[in-house]
Amino acid sequence: MDKIKAKLRALVTPKPDATASRIRRRRAITAKIYAKLPWITTTLFAVGYAWMLCIPFSELENRIYIDENALQPGQVNTQWEWSDVHHADMYLRQLEILRDSNATSEQRADFLANEFNKLGIASSTQSYTFSTSSSTAAGTNAYAVLSSPRTSGNEAIVISASWLSRIDESSTSDPETINIRGVATVLALAKFLRGYSLWAKDLVFVISDGHLDGMHAWLSAYHGVSQSNMDADYLKLSSGVIWTALNIDYPGHSFSHLGVFFEGLNGRLPNQDLLNSLRVIANRAGVPVVTYDHISPPELPSSLPSFLRDNRDVKLYAENARSVLRHVGYEARGSGSGVHGLLHQFRIDAITIFAIPAAGPHGFHAIGRVIESTLRTANNLLERLHASFFFYIMTSSDTFLKIGAFLPSAVLVSVAMMFVGLGEWVRAGWVRGPDRVAEKAGSEVEWLKRRRPLMKPLGIVLGTHVFGAGVFGALNAFADHHSLLTPVVFLVSALPITLSFLNSAPKPPTNEIAQLSTLLKSLNLCLASTIISVTSVLNFSLALTLAILLGLPLSLASPSTSAAVKTAKYACYLALAFGWLLMDTEVKSALWNWEVLGVWVAPFVCVVYAPLVLQAGLVTIL
């Protein structure tokens, strides 16, 4: 009995050395992890980067579906007829006369407002001016509000067309192609839609001047947002809360496919149900829909062996990869892919329907029917679109990637960077003591703790970010003397390396104080990793780009003794940090986006990205 009691007591009362052994066990595990850290980080990096390459694989993608049951896309008989096409043609003729007579913005807007008015739709115009550091943009928007019968006018749908088409987006010269058929479509639609009493939401027609600037001015005035460099008229007419918006871009004579553009400013996306509805509706109407303007499959490099080039999977991969890259290109720049992108910041689900110019077979008849049916679908909504996805990548018009299929790639790289950074932190804090020879073989290595003074590396980190902010300020202030600014920035950022040569006696590592470069690298990596993780849910494409640009370069930064290696390394980092300064048009458009549209990518690159790379560069020379 006593024995049992003793045994029970022994079970209940902890052993005197239990805590100690637990701590020891924990230490052993941490030691093992630390010993295997290079393996872990390498694996994480490898998986992360491999995942990025896998994103276009068709195995990861899902087929689209309509999530919101209220939408009922394509369930209505469309009433848009050839007589409406005739009206559109009549409007087109008038617009062509207007275009050929080189009418000013105001004349155009007055004409458009008058046309809306003739239909009995209340209309007005709005003049605006944007002044940026390099240029000014001015224009006049025309808009009209069709108060739908029997409704309180609390919700609205916007049907818009910008005067200039998006078709010139990739060309370097100023855009000049006029979205003339898009504008004609909106006018004819206004005439047509007015004849029905079934609209449950107000219809707002906006013909914005310019490409993006006009719509931005109109939206800002509509939502009462003021901007220091914007001077926009007060809107005489108002309607309710805008829920959905369709932007029509139809620059050519006729079209073969409808292209969908959906990326918004600063990585915002519209609810996927809107895209899916359009796809379903156009499918029923017999109009093919593609993402962007990707009509033909991408051309594979001819160096590829023919069995690969003809392989179905490879073709599919290439096609998906092109869509993903296009998406990342728009989103990482933060500029969005068109006029619709401006609306997302006001919680409006918006897309651009782009009639891809071709010899045929579709025209006003097809686009009118598709838009009518899409509007009917949007009209069905009792609530905002909220059911479907807000985080997605469209690989084609009927397949997409869910967030779970792409988000881990960037996050894994960011985790790897965090591990490397924490490893550096440990390495900075502990140094291997002299081996205890007296003890038996296999005894534990003694680790000595050393001080990790943080003020200096923190100062450096802060300094680089302040320098980045300075560069950004200079970019804004001397936008016109951009060619002069670039060498100055490079010269200033090359200063540290010259200083390091002048003061060329690097302090030998001691057992008392941690090395500056190790501390700086640790801080740098932890900061970069956090930024990538946070950005990944705000703007995945930007996070992906950061993960590619920062991941390995920052982790591999290490000081070297040879002056030549040092210079070469520093030059590489410098190129990575400020190389974008040489891309003149990119810089200009990014700055314009920041000043006018409030896209934060330009300041982000200057104040966050470049300094991070610069810190890695400093690690190599310290």
Partner 1 sequence: MLSQWTRHLNHALWLTTVSNAALVHREEFHEDLVLRPLPDGRVSSKFTFTTLLRDATPRNPESLAVEDDSQHYTLFPLALGQVLREYAITEMHLTLNAGKWNYDRWGYPDEPGVGSGAELWAWMGDGGPATVDYRWQGLRNALAGLFCASLGSLDELRTTSPTLAFEPEGTLPNWTQPHQLRHASLPSEHVCTENLTPFLKLLPCKSLSGVASLLNPHRLFDADWHGMGVHVSYDREDGVKVRLTFQTVFDPVRTSLNNRRDWSFASLFDRKVEQLCPVAETSRVRLALPEVQSYLLAPEYTIQDNYALFDMAASSQAFQVSMDWPQEPKFQYRTSSNYDDASIVPLSVQRTLRGSSQARGELSVTVTNHEAVEIQSVYLETMPWLLQFYLHTLRISHNGESRGDLISNISYVPPVPHARPTTLQCIITIPPKSTIKLTIDVSKSFLRYTEHPPDAQRGWDLPPAVFVPFKTDHNRTLLGTTRYQRIYTPTLLADLATPDFSMPYNVIILSCTLITLIFGSLFNILTRKFVVVNMDPPREVAETQ
The stretch near partner 1 (CB under 8 A) out of 37-45, 220-228, 463-471, 520-528 is 220-228
Using CB under 8 A as the binding criterion, the count of chain residues that bind partner 1 stands at: 40
Q: Kindly state whether residue 152 participates in binding partner 1, applying the rule CB under 8 A.
A: yes
> Nearest to residue 163, comparing CAs of 104, 86, 116?
104
Among 122, 325, 494, 513, binds partner 1 (CB under 8 A): 122
553 preceded by a cis bond (ω within 30 of 0): no
Cβ(334)–Cβ(267) below 8 Å: yes
Quick one: how far is CA 268 from the chain centroid? 7
Q: Kindly state whether residue 149 participates in binding partner 1, applying the rule CB under 8 A.
A: yes
Query: Which residue, 14 or 509, is less far from partner 1 as judged by CB?
Result: 14
Q: Kindly state whether residue 19 participates in binding partner 1, applying the rule CB under 8 A.
A: yes
Q: SS3 string of 277-326?
A: HHHHHHHHHCCCEEECCCCCCCCCCCCCCHHHHCCHHHHHHHHHHHHHHH
Q: Kindly state whether residue 30 participates in binding partner 1, applying the rule CB under 8 A.
A: no
3-state secondary structure of 207: strand
- Say how far apart CA 393 and CA 98 lie, in whole Å: 40
State the first-to-last Cα distance of the chain, in angstroms, to the nearest integer. Answer: 71
Smallest distance, partner 1 to C-beta of residue 535, A:
20
> Nearest to residue 575, comparing CAs of 493, 481, 484, 500?
493
Q: Kindly state whether residue 387 participates in binding partner 1, applying the rule CB under 8 A.
A: yes
- Say how far apart CA 617 and CA 567 lie, in whole Å: 10
- Which residue's structure tokens are 């990096």? 45
Query: Which residue, 55 or 203, is less far from partner 1 as judged by CB?
Result: 203
Smallest distance, partner 1 to C-beta of residue 171, A:
33
The stretch near partner 1 (CB under 8 A) out of 122-130, 464-472, 523-531, 599-607 is 122-130
CA distances from 524 to 138, 528, 616 (A): 44, 6, 7
Phi and psi, residue 223, nearest 5°: -95, 10
Q: Kindly state whether residue 510 participates in binding partner 1, applying the rule CB under 8 A.
A: no
Among 154, 229, 483, 558, binds partner 1 (CB under 8 A): 154
Cβ(340)–Cβ(245) below 8 Å: yes
Q: Kindly state whether residue 194 participates in binding partner 1, applying the rule CB under 8 A.
A: yes
Query: Which residue, 152 or 503, is less far from partner 1 as judged by CB?
Result: 152
The stretch near partner 1 (CB under 8 A) out of 14-22, 41-49, 254-262, 476-484 is 14-22
Q: Kindly state whether residue 107 participates in binding partner 1, applying the rule CB under 8 A.
A: no
> Nearest to residue 531, comparing CAs of 422, 440, 605?
605
Strands (E), 187-234: 202-208, 230-232
Q: Kindly state whether residue 140 participates in binding partner 1, applying the rule CB under 8 A.
A: no
Q: Kindly state whether residue 14 participates in binding partner 1, applying the rule CB under 8 A.
A: no
The binding track of 323-362 with respect to partner 1, each residue x by CB under 8 A or -, is: ----------------------xxx---------------
Q: Kindly state whether residue 83 participates in binding partner 1, applying the rule CB under 8 A.
A: no
Smallest distance, partner 1 to C-beta of residue 580, A:
32
The amino acid at residue 310 is D
Among 223, 449, 451, 481, binds partner 1 (CB under 8 A): 223
Smallest distance, partner 1 to C-beta of residue 599, A:
17
Among 2, 9, 13, 17, binds partner 1 (CB under 8 A): 17
- Say how far apart CA 499 and CA 118 lie, in whole Å: 73
Q: Kindly state whether residue 430 participates in binding partner 1, applying the rule CB under 8 A.
A: no
The stretch near partner 1 (CB under 8 A) out of 115-123, 255-263, 399-407, 612-620 is 115-123
Q: Kindly state whether residue 498 participates in binding partner 1, applying the rule CB under 8 A.
A: no
Query: Which residue, 149 or 487, is less far from partner 1 as judged by CB?
Result: 149
Contacts of 319 (CB under 8 A, 6+ apart): 294, 297, 298, 395, 396
Q: Kindly state whether residue 533 participates in binding partner 1, applying the rule CB under 8 A.
A: no
> Nearest to residue 295, comparing CAs of 324, 323, 274?
323
Among 117, 136, 229, 483, binds partner 1 (CB under 8 A): 117
- Say how far apart CA 40 and CA 34 lie, in whole Å: 9
**Element of type H or E holding 53:** helix 18-54
Q: Kindly state whether residue 26 participates in binding partner 1, applying the rule CB under 8 A.
A: no
Restricting to residues 357-386, name those near partner 1 by CB under 8 A: 382-384, 386
The amino acid at residue 17 is D
Query: Which residue, 114 or 135, is less far from partner 1 as judged by CB?
Result: 114
Smallest distance, partner 1 to C-beta of residue 35, A:
20
Cβ(291)–Cβ(260) below 8 Å: yes
The stretch near partner 1 (CB under 8 A) out of 191-199, 359-367, 586-594, 608-616 is 191-199
Query: Which residue, 378 or 460, is less far from partner 1 as judged by CB?
Result: 378
The amino acid at residue 498 is T
Which spans of this chain sit near partner 1 (rule: CB under 8 A)? 17, 19-21, 23-24, 113-114, 117-120, 122-124, 147, 149-155, 194-195, 197, 223-225, 238, 240-241, 345-347, 382-384, 386-387
